[in-house]
Structure 1
Amino acid sequence: MTEPSRTTIRQRLFAFLIAGLGGLAASAFSFSLAVYEAAHPPRTPKAVPGEQIDTGRWLVTLRSARSGTTPPTGIPPWKPTRLVMVDMDVVNQSATPSNLLSRAVTLDVPQAALQPPTDYLDRDKGLAGHFNPGMPERVTLAWEWPEGNPVPQRLNLTINGQIYKLRDNLYGASDWFDADAVATVELPVEQAP
């Protein structure tokens, strides 16, 4: 081999070695950053009652919480049950009607297994069907409270975000998907008979 070709081979090997070490360092940094973020997740911001919260699909404004035995319809149930109700204003920001509000607002109660809430429209005191896009509604979510569990003095609610994907990875269709929590709200509970 001649001297110039030996130098170019050495230079190429040195360049490959540097590129490989740079890629290895970038991979190690990326992995350590992912581990750190998983170990130290960001805190969910706290919102105050009356503050409008944007979840992506919904605009939610939590107003108040109360406990009672009569649902928002005003008709007592045949089997008396304790209800925990949260009053709120909502606006559906998507392009289609939706009735999935209960996925956006969840009640944080570790000791009680609760069924999903029932949505009531305050304007006509009936069960809510679909919420039309862009139309503000005042809504009451009502959870049936388990017997034997005392109703707390304060409710912690988590407002979950939703993201829109034009094409999802599984079916290739557009839809709204659950995301991380966007806010937490603490509401005092009014005790009604």
Structure 2
Amino acid sequence: MFKTARSKVQTWITAGGGTIAALFVAGLMGAFGALPAHDPPQLPPDAVIEAGRWRLQPVRAYVGHAGVHGVPLKPGQKALVLEVDMTNRTAQSDKGYFNVFAPDGVILSDPVPMIVLTRDSTMTPELHPGMTERMAYVWPLAGDAAVPASLAFGVTAEIFKPRDNLYGTPGWYNPYRLGTVTLPVADLPAAGQSQSGQSQSGQPESGP
């Protein structure tokens, strides 16, 4: 009889322990789920950023009104431009850089930027391994779109997998927000016009 009672106690402890453990884990998951999500860290604007397959060095940000590295703009448009020195850290030429930067707090005409090699205005070139190139990310904006004096750009990185679970091939996967870099935004007038609305000759620009 004593043995039977002891067995019943052990069974109760085992079942109860499992229930308690389950409740404990569920409580932890609920607690972690209730925690606020951490904002991505602020990245120094003057430091090199290691972002997976790319090494990045932001250079400057500005609003251009015409002739932005040969990128065509529609009448009445302007463009938000981010210039950045980019280095391909992989062993093959690549142009998978479209989602690396995204401006926060600006209404874009198109979230996908046009990207230009600044030295010769080549559109969306492949970047060769180990060669640093200055690239311009160009986002067209409506002419009356408000752009703050400083702007945060989200930086997206990826993770290299020698063998992806889905495809079974090596590559860069799982994009995530690495952080945010904030830069001052200059306003560059159209070619031939100064900030004060005068031509380079010093005479006021004619207009209606």
What TM-score do you get using the length of structure 1 for normalisation?
Answer: 0.81
Q: Which amino acid aligns with 2:14?
A: F
Task: Give CA-to-partner distance per residue, 1:96-130, whole Å, 9 cap, x none.
Answer: 32212121111113533434112222333322311
- Quote the offset at 1:3 in angstroms: 4.3
Please give the residue correspondences for 1:1-193 in structure 2 after superposition, counting only pairs within 5 Å: 3-4=2-3, 6-7=4-5, 9-37=7-35, 40-68=36-64, 69-73=66-70, 77=72, 79-80=74-75, 81-193=77-189
How many residues matched? Answer: 187
- Report the CA distance shift for 1:79/1:43 in structure 2 as closer, same or farther (over 3 A): closer
Q: Which amino acid aligns with 1:149?
A: A
- Quote the offset at 1:20 in angstroms: 0.8
Contact 1:53 1:183 (8 Å CA) reproduced? no
Contact 2:115 2:136 (8 Å CA) reproduced? yes
Alpha-carbon distance in structure 2 between the residues aligned to 1:49 and 1:17: 56
- Report the CA distance shift for 1:3/1:77 in structure 2 as closer, same or farther (over 3 A): closer
Alpha-carbon distance in structure 1 between the residues aligned to 2:124 and 2:181: 23
What TM-score do you get using the length of structure 2 for normalisation?
Answer: 0.76
- Quote the offset at 1:22 in angstroms: 4.1
Q: Which amino acid aligns with 2:7?
A: I
Flag structure 1 segments of 5+ consecutive residues without an equivalent: none
Q: Identify, as 1 or 2, the structure richer in helix.
A: 1
Task: Give CA-to-partner distance per residue, 1:41-70, whole Å, 9 cap, x none.
Answer: 112111232211222222211111122211
- Report the CA distance shift for 1:147/1:178 in structure 2 as closer, same or farther (over 3 A): farther
Contact 1:44 1:181 (8 Å CA) reproduced? yes
- Quote the offset at 1:190 in angstroms: 1.5
Alpha-carbon distance in structure 2 between the residues aligned to 1:87 and 1:114: 18
Q: Which amino acid aligns with 1:161?
A: A
Alpha-carbon distance in structure 2 between the residues aligned to 1:192 and 1:47: 25
- Report the CA distance shift for 1:155/1:53 in structure 2 as closer, same or farther (over 3 A): same
Alpha-carbon distance in structure 2 between the residues aligned to 1:8 and 1:186: 67
Alpha-carbon distance in structure 2 between the residues aligned to 1:87 and 1:160: 16
Alpha-carbon distance in structure 1 between the residues aligned to 2:108 and 2:63: 15
Contact 2:109 2:141 (8 Å CA) reproduced? no
Three-state SS of the structure 2 residue aligned to 1:102 is: coil
